[in-house]
Structure 1
């Protein structure tokens, strides 16, 4: 029985920082199992956050430079983590940070140059998991559902609440998954305007009131009417959501309250649409699962037929890094790690570029 020892790296659309998860992955009677051995969250400095947030507006040359620089930075963080914990690592599996995601134009880009990451960390690296799927006509997202199928198959639904919300489930023997819409991105945008990194436990949101006019505008957004497969990202948020926030005359607390109600209603709508049993379990991870008001509101909207399962904090925070570690394993085994039933691509693929360290 081979046990893979992988360092998974994840940076999401919420821009809160880099997640590092040192994972062990192995097969037991044909079923994948895992343990998360060591973890670290590295918050982005304001400067780094600014670079990543504005990468979408950079010239090609400056964007290329950021790709290199961020790869070096990732390599430094990985090397420090490995050395500090004296870890034995087979390879690093890195999601990078998505700067552009326009699958309708056949284009997606993850910052964090794999060769630089390999050179600085002196480890083999697997990265760039989205490009191949997009070249096959897919959305290149969401990618986590392969992990949901292989590691979290005990639950009818798997929900991730990062910057955006996405859901995955089995339907007619196929894994279906797509981005529902909003999660933490508008919440973080509002709290940062107030001078806070985030809303602790959703207490500010809890104290707010519902803005019915804003809620209706949010519910009528065109994206929600699109059929799956579909995915969205920062571009949609800046073009469609930010103007609604900026035009609103209501208080920040009311905005937070309204967005959480909106987010939860959209999640519940999708879960009820595809629930096939009288009793279902919905497993939730990502930063939104740490927001108590978000969770209370979500369970309320899901009702009795769907039980919300909130795992231990470590798994909430590092599930995506764990899944990218698994995707790296599957890539090196030349096994499917991106599902066309999820992305809409012409076929399943094993995606990811492999880099070996070059000595300086």
Structure 2
């Protein structure tokens, strides 16, 4: 007999390196799934960890294995502190994404650090994790994984877009959920604004002061990835090969780079969501705090852009990875072939029991 309610901690670390998102959540299954976020926080990375995580694609396999172990121990400390601080009891499972080190699905490779069995032992909790590997083995992209949550938790919206390190979208076409990465966002914006000693461009103020170099904008928009049909996904490796060298060919101010990237992102998103008219678009992720970016997206589409509550903006991915874990515990599909391109729907992830 399957349970009808689950007490879960969802854990997420994204490519934008904002930090580790943790959310204590209750999930309840009636006719539909309901959720309640009880507590949530973001633990920002130390400078040491930021430096390590930024350079993962350059590491040898041996170095990555050591970093994986170190990160698992670090994650265990972060989760244990969150549990103790909030006096959280009777947890069914901690459901953790880990942090993406390598993502090259075309080479049947995806590697998330922080998903070792030691995590369950150290935090003394059941753990559900490593949600991407099986999908890649089944011929899928291993991403995006959030759309099953959009389907079952946020079905009232026609499009769900997350503005994180990358922008990704999920929607329904011909009664089938599809999803894909649209373009890089904060992974590029934050890199350049950090050269000014800032963590991010607050509200997009600096970008709003920049000028557009039309030639660079056109070159960005002409990148081959944007011509591909879904399913498709992006990783840091692609940005390092395609985006940074292109931008760095030009002698531009940081403000101009930010302005061009905001326009690029807004145009790519508008191109996707303008395929349906007069529909609702849910925007979440750290990029929703970039007022200038949101303003440019609104200016380029006639659809209704919805900005939800702060806890959904910031913790939707932690929420949904918690939900992926619940579905795995129930042995129900949490990975959709229509989204990732795998050869079948499946229940993905590892369960480590204490």
TM-score after normalising by structure 1: 0.96
1:197 Cα deviation (Å)? 0.3
Query: Would the aligned equivalents of 1:9 and 1:18 in 2 still touch at CA under 8 Å?
Result: yes
Alignment partner, residue 239 of structure 2: 237
The separation in 2 between residues aligned to 1:156 and 1:309, in whole angstroms, is 11
Alignment partner, residue 85 of structure 2: 84
Task: Classify the secondary structure of the residue corresponding to 2:117.
Answer: helix
Matches within 5 A, 1:9-20: 9-20=11-22
Backbone CA RMSD of aligned residues? 1.0
Deviating beyond 6 angstroms after TM superposition, the runs of 4 or more aligned structure 1 residues are none
Task: Classify the secondary structure of the residue corresponding to 1:114.
Answer: coil
Query: Would the aligned equivalents of 2:12 and 2:98 in 1 still touch at CA under 8 Å?
Result: yes
Alignment partner, residue 143 of structure 2: 141
Task: Classify the secondary structure of the residue corresponding to 1:187.
Answer: helix
Alignment partner, residue 297 of structure 1: 296
Alignment partner, residue 317 of structure 2: 320
Query: Would the aligned equivalents of 1:202 and 1:294 in 2 still touch at CA under 8 Å?
Result: yes
Query: Would the aligned equivalents of 2:96 and 2:115 in 1 still touch at CA under 8 Å?
Result: no
- Residue ranges of structure 2 left out of the alignment (5+ in a row): none
Higher mean C-alpha deviation, range 155-164 or range 246-255: 246-255
1:15 Cα deviation (Å)? 1.3
1:269 Cα deviation (Å)? 0.4
Q: Does 1:69 align with 2:80?
A: no
Q: Does 1:197 align with 2:207?
A: no
Q: Does 1:329 align with 2:329?
A: no
Task: Classify the secondary structure of the residue corresponding to 1:201.
Answer: helix
Cα deviations by residue, 1:94-137 (Å, 9 ceiling, x for unpaired) = 00000000110111000003312111111110000000000000
1:2 Cα deviation (Å)? 2.5
The separation in 2 between residues aligned to 1:248 and 1:122, in whole angstroms, is 52
Q: Does 1:353 align with 2:350?
A: yes
The separation in 1 between residues aligned to 2:282 and 2:224, in whole angstroms, is 27
Alignment partner, residue 105 of structure 1: 107
Cα deviations by residue, 1:39-93 (Å, 9 ceiling, x for unpaired) = 1111111110111121222121111111111111111111111011111221100
Matches within 5 A, 1:1-360: 2-28=4-30, 30-88=31-89, 89-273=91-275, 275=276, 278-302=277-301, 304=302, 306-357=303-354
The separation in 1 between residues aligned to 2:57 and 2:285, in whole angstroms, is 24
Higher mean C-alpha deviation, range 185-194 or range 321-330: 185-194
TM-score after normalising by structure 2: 0.97
Query: Would the aligned equivalents of 1:75 and 1:119 in 2 still touch at CA under 8 Å?
Result: no
Query: Would the aligned equivalents of 1:114 and 1:125 in 2 still touch at CA under 8 Å?
Result: no
The separation in 2 between residues aligned to 1:320 and 1:113, in whole angstroms, is 17
The separation in 2 between residues aligned to 1:327 and 1:113, in whole angstroms, is 15
Task: Classify the secondary structure of the residue corresponding to 2:274.
Answer: helix
Query: Would the aligned equivalents of 1:70 and 1:113 in 2 still touch at CA under 8 Å?
Result: no
- Residue ranges of structure 1 left out of the alignment (5+ in a row): none
Cα deviations by residue, 1:144-163 (Å, 9 ceiling, x for unpaired) = 00000000000000001110
Query: Would the aligned equivalents of 1:114 and 1:126 in 2 still touch at CA under 8 Å?
Result: no
Aligned residues: 351
The separation in 1 between residues aligned to 2:97 and 2:115, in whole angstroms, is 11
Higher mean C-alpha deviation, range 127-136 or range 250-259: 250-259
